[in-house]
Amino acid sequence: QQQQQQQQLQGLMPGDASVDGQHLWLWGRWIHITDVRHARDCAGEDAYIFTPHAEALKPGHPSFVDNMVLFHRLWRARVPVIVREARGRISWTPAVMRRVTKQYREDRDNDAKKKAQDAAQKRGGGSGEERGEDMEEDNGGEAGQEEAKLRKKQDREATLEVLSCSTWQAVQMTEDAFFEHYRENKGVDPKKIGATPARPNEHIMLKVKDWPPEDDFKRVMVRHNKEFHESIPLPMYTHTTCAPLNLATLMPDWTNPTDLGPKTYIAYGQIEEHEDYECDSVTKLHQDMSDAVNVLVHNQLGEDEALTIRHGTQRAGQDPRYGNAGAVWDIWSVPDASLLRGYLQEHAHEFLHRGQPVSREELMDSIFDQKFMVTKRHRIRMAQTQQPPSQQQQAQQQGCEARPIHPWHFEQYQDEAVFIPAGCPHQVRNLRSCLKVAADFVPPEAMPQCLSMAQRLRRCFKEEQAKQLEQLPEGEELAEVPDNSLYHDKLQGELIAVTSTAQLMALALPATIPCLPGSPLPQLKHPRPLHNQLMAQLKRAREAVPSDAGAYTAGGAEEGWQDGAIAGGEVGVEEWQQQR
């Protein structure tokens, strides 16, 4: 029977359905149709995305081991994954988020007022009890009412810096107006914000990056930050402060650790994709140096709209509304990045950025520059077998084979977490107003892409500097590079590799940590009980060493002591053995 089953399995092709129609043969195993989603909208080989339920990725679930084995396999191959139902208990509606930020402002103002009053008390003028009574009278009287009115007015007039998806210029807008148009789900009239539309009578799509603007997300949205970390899938990878497989969390504080998030992105959206001009709510094509998880926490649906979640073999894009999803993604594989760059370089003039055709001469890197949004017309063209001669030549120079380029094309519904591998070029188009929360993480699987992209960024930066020097008038110096430069290695991948290696070595083998007598023991980011015991033993052994005995390395005592003390004539061998 086993031989017959093996023979039957050998004849299966990816995407073949089981007899009952409830499973598909993918990645060498049977997968239930609710755990996969077709991810191709153009002609070509079928592609699928693994879409497990969040509960099935928690220890204790019957499918946990099988799902984790498959996730590891896909993640090593740099294949994106979607996790369904990644929701918590707290509401993420804009109304709730705004209430939290409003409370934060009030608390901040009250703290500032209290500090000012405390400072006034120190300078003198009446007893503290008298001033406290005066404050209570003011708060309960006309002064308190006036202060409450002033706060309401400030909340109404609080402004946001929003980005227009037509001109990619920042404009100022009140929070009230921004979220009112968010609920309407149709963009904003350009006359109301003094912006220029891509076409006459065209509503403008707006987006806000890294909200709230007052302060870091973790400080303002304390409960939401806690809820995000508790509900985020695969916390052993994705937790931003204590994930054992997130190497970036091992960076010591003195290294200025990378900001991993979480960060909030709010944007409008529209169903129709516009090919010939810029007006869609998009995140243009780019590459991330780290792995990322992007959770759609709120999707603005109409009163009569309901989600129709697609799964199994139903092709992507057949429903123009994508089942009322919030966003649609295109993710290209790491090996296809070189071919994608070649295509964009070849057809740069066919794309628009800030209302103007993209100039090939001004491009430093067609993906890093974030000037392209690959529409369906171009995706169909890239899927064709035949490619332009210049593209084939470029592919040969880069050591890759000229071939059709296919992205994973899929939609994202509310409470779905999209896992994007480092080095995968990707773009997003919002179908309706939605709110997303994203976090970065750096597992061992991502390090090759982190390091190779860092080298590419350096080349782009040097080329950009050289080009600016050529255009610089004689006698003038280059201006300081802005912090938001597209070619900055903000991740610090090499530093993460070095510090995480040292931290993990110390965690696994604390006896290998070199210490000088009298110096403090290194503090590790993720101490464990066994590690603490071993560090205590190391400390006791080190304290028994004379302060002038040189460096001591537990586990290598013979070499360390003999080289540092005995060979120098400071300690005799017998004395050293006795101390040992």
Cα–Cα dist 229/227, whole Å: 5
Measured CA to CA, the distance from residue 429 to residue 226 in angstroms comes to: 28
pLDDT at position 223 is 92
Is it the case that residue 510 has pLDDT exceeding 70? no
Domain assignment present for 515: yes
Q: What is the mean pLDDT of residues 81-86?
A: 96
Q: Note the pLDDT of residue 515.
A: 56
pLDDT of residue 161: 87
Residue 396, pLDDT above cutoff 90: no
H, E, C per residue of 259-289:
CCCCEEEEECCCCCCCCCCCCCCEEEEECCC
Flag the least confident range among 119-128, 256-265, 430-439, 440-449.
Answer: 119-128
Residues of the chain with pLDDT > 70: what percent? 72
Of the ranges 106-110, 129-133, 361-365, 458-462, which one carries the lowest mean pLDDT score? 129-133
Model confidence band, residue 234 (pLDDT cutoffs 50, 70, 90): very high
Edge-to-edge strands, sheet with 426-430: 282-286, 426-430, 327-331, 408-412
The pLDDT of residue 563: 38
Q: How far, in Å, are 124, 140, 463 from residue 127 at the CA level?
A: 8, 20, 67
Burial of 422 (C-beta count, 10 Å sphere; 0-12/13-18/19+): buried
- C-alpha span between 551 and 355 (Å, rounded): 64
Count of CA atoms in the C-beta half-sphere (13 A) of 219: 9
pLDDT tens, position by position, 520-578:
555 555 554 444 555 565 566 556 655 554 444 433 333 333 333 333 344 444 554 55
What is the predicted pLDDT for the residue at 190?
A: 76
Answer whether 16's CB lies under 8 Å from 28's CB.
Answer: no
pLDDT at residue 16, rounded to an integer: 87
Residue 564 CA to residue 572 CA, distance in Å, equals: 12
Nearest to 369 by CA among 481, 428, 285, 282: 285
The pLDDT of residue 538 is: 56
Domain boundary among 52, 77, 102: 77
* More confident position, 323 or 516: 323
The sign one gets for the Cα dihedral 195, 201, 205, 206 is positive
| pLDDT at residue number 228 | 94
Is residue 15 scored above 70 in pLDDT?
Answer: yes
pLDDT 10s digits, 169-199: 888 888 888 999 999 888 887 777 766 666 7
Task: Say which residue, 173 or 202, is predicted with more confidence.
Answer: 173
Tokens 């709230």 -> residue: 212
The half-sphere exposure of 529 on its side-chain side, counting CA atoms within 13 A, is 0
Q: Tell me which residue of 335, 227, 205 sits closest to 281, measured CA to CA.
A: 205
pTM of the model: 0.80
How far is Cα 265 from Cα 488, in angstroms, rounded to an integer?
Answer: 21
Residue 339's nearest CA partner among 297, 385, 293 is: 385
Dist CA 565 CA 563 (whole Å): 6
CB contact at 8 A, 50 and 71: yes
At 255, the pLDDT band (50, 70, 90 cuts) reads confident
Residue 282 forms part of a structural domain: no
How far apart (Å, rounded) are the C-alpha atoms in residues 309 and 325? 8
pLDDT tens track for 489-500: 788 888 999 888
52/32 Cα distance (integer angstroms) = 9
Domain-embedded: residue 333: no
Domain count, the chain: 2
For residue 547, is it within any domain?
yes
Residue carrying structure tokens 């359905």: 17
Tell me: the pLDDT tens digits for 289-326?
A: 999 999 999 999 888 888 889 999 888 878 888 999 99
* pLDDT tens per residue across span 3-13: 555 545 567 88
How high does pLDDT run on average in the chain? Answer: 79
Dihedral sign (CA 521, 524, 529, 530): negative
- pLDDT beyond 50 at 262: yes
Q: What is the pLDDT of residue 351?
A: 93
Whole-number pLDDT of residue 505: 80
Query: Which two tokens mark 98?
Result: 């705004």
pLDDT of residue 439: 95
Residue 348 lies in a domain: no
- Specify the length of the chain in residues: 580
The last residue of one of the domains, among 37, 60, 77, is 77
What percent of the chain is modeled with pLDDT above 90?
Answer: 36
For residues 61 and 233, what is the distance between their CA atoms, to the nearest angstrom?
14
How many C-beta atoms surround the C-beta of residue 167 within 10 A?
Answer: 17
Q: For residue 416, report the phi and psi dihedrals to the nearest 5 degrees.
A: -105, 140
Count CA atoms within 13 Å of residue 174 on its CB side: 10
In a domain, 545, yes or no: yes
Domain that holds residue 550: 509-579
Instruction: Detail the DSSP E strand segments found in 358-500.
Output: 408-412, 417-420, 426-430, 434-441
Q: What is the pLDDT of residue 277?
A: 80
The whole-number pLDDT of residue 564 equals 39
307: left (phi over 0), alpha (psi -120 to 50) or beta: beta
CB 347 within 8 A of CB 378: yes
CA–CA separation, 110 and 121 (whole Å): 16
Is residue 38 a part of any domain in this protein?
A: yes
Helix ranges, 348-404 (H) = 376-382, 389-397
Angle separating helix axes 175-184 and 94-123, nearest 10 degrees: 170
Q: What is the mean pLDDT of residues 136-156?
A: 54
CA distance 170 to 173: 10
The answer on pLDDT for 517 being more than 90 is no
> Which one of 47, 77, 107 terminates a domain?
77
Predicted local distance difference test score (pLDDT) of residue 167: 82
In a domain, 167, yes or no: no
Whole-angstrom distance, CA of residue 81 vs CA of residue 104: 35
